[in-house]
Amino acid sequence: MKRLTVMIIPVLFLFLISCDLFDPEGNNVPEWYPSTWTYSESEMSEFSSRYSVFVNSYNVSDARIDIDTLGAHLFDFFYRNVTQLCTFNTGVEQELEFDTELKSFFNQWWRIFSAEQFEIDSSHISISSRNGDVSGRFYPKNNYNYPLNDPLWDLGQLRAKVDSNGYLFDLWSTLIPQLPIPDEPIIDINEAKYIIDGYTFTLNAWPQIIEHTLSLDDIESSEMVVYIENNSQNRFGYIKYRLVWRFRVQDGYICVDAITGENLEFHQTTIYM
């Protein structure tokens, strides 16, 4: 019996290695993963210095301003007649002139809107039928090799308004830096599926609360995405950046960290009324 046991152990060891089910070195998770952004005095000092230049340039020392201390940049700014960015009398369409001038303005003053330099990828411009104000939302370019879990919100947005005469008066930013993530997963898609097979979660199907145990047949689609956990917009918060497998299921999705194998739980997207 002892001889048989001794023979089985090395055979089993070789089988596990050949099937990639056993890794004698363990998963090589980078020490820095997940990348985490936290409050920084030096980043706030850098913002304050640049904002002082901005204030002096436009003489707006008494502007109403809120600061995102976690992101170390301006959050909300309001001051009438900061500067005339648009003329609206050059024969160029208002939306096009506004879009061009604001992108140039953001490029010049990028540090008061973000802790790192950014490129605007797209924008949405509208004109008020009531007073002629022109407003816009501007979305930063995704520099990752993978899509974002929530493309409209994950990297934040810029917003701006000018009045009917082209004078800037409102600015707003929720931009965040794009910290590094690994280029490739450690956990493959089959391992990720195995991790969530049998996972029990709660679905708020008002007026009912339903407990559901996942089977692999429940998975409708899968995709690798960048998952950004933005805890808050204050100095006590944090932002974490992960590479994940996202599995679409009925009424929501489940994410598995593609580096650590951590189940990031069910996220409901359907709202029952």
Which residue carries 């700014």 as its tokens?
A: 77
Which tokens sit at 118? 């950014």
Closest C-alpha to 44, from 77, 9, 68: 68
Q: Biggest alpha carbon distance in the chain?
A: 95
Contact between 192 and 261 under an 8 Å Cβ cutoff? The reply is: yes
Instruction: Determine the pLDDT at residue 139.
Output: 98
**Global confidence as pTM:** 0.85
- Which residues make Cβ contacts (< 8 Å) with residue 71, sequence separation at least 6? 114, 115, 156, 173, 174, 175, 176, 177, 233
Sequence-distant (≥ 6) Cβ neighbours of residue 219 within 8 angstroms? 193, 247, 248, 249
* pLDDT tens per residue across all 273 residues of the chain: 444 444 444 444 344 334 444 343 456 899 999 999 999 999 999 999 999 999 999 999 999 999 999 999 999 999 999 999 999 886 679 999 999 999 999 999 999 999 999 999 999 999 999 999 999 999 999 999 999 999 999 999 999 999 999 999 999 999 999 999 999 999 999 999 999 999 999 989 888 888 999 999 999 999 999 999 998 767 789 999 999 999 999 999 999 999 999 999 999 998 887
Tell me the C-alpha to C-alpha distance, in Å, between residue 108 and each of 4, 76, 118. Answer: 75, 18, 11
pLDDT score recorded for residue 205: 85
Q: How far apart are CA 158 and CA 139, in angstroms?
A: 7
pLDDT value for 27: 63
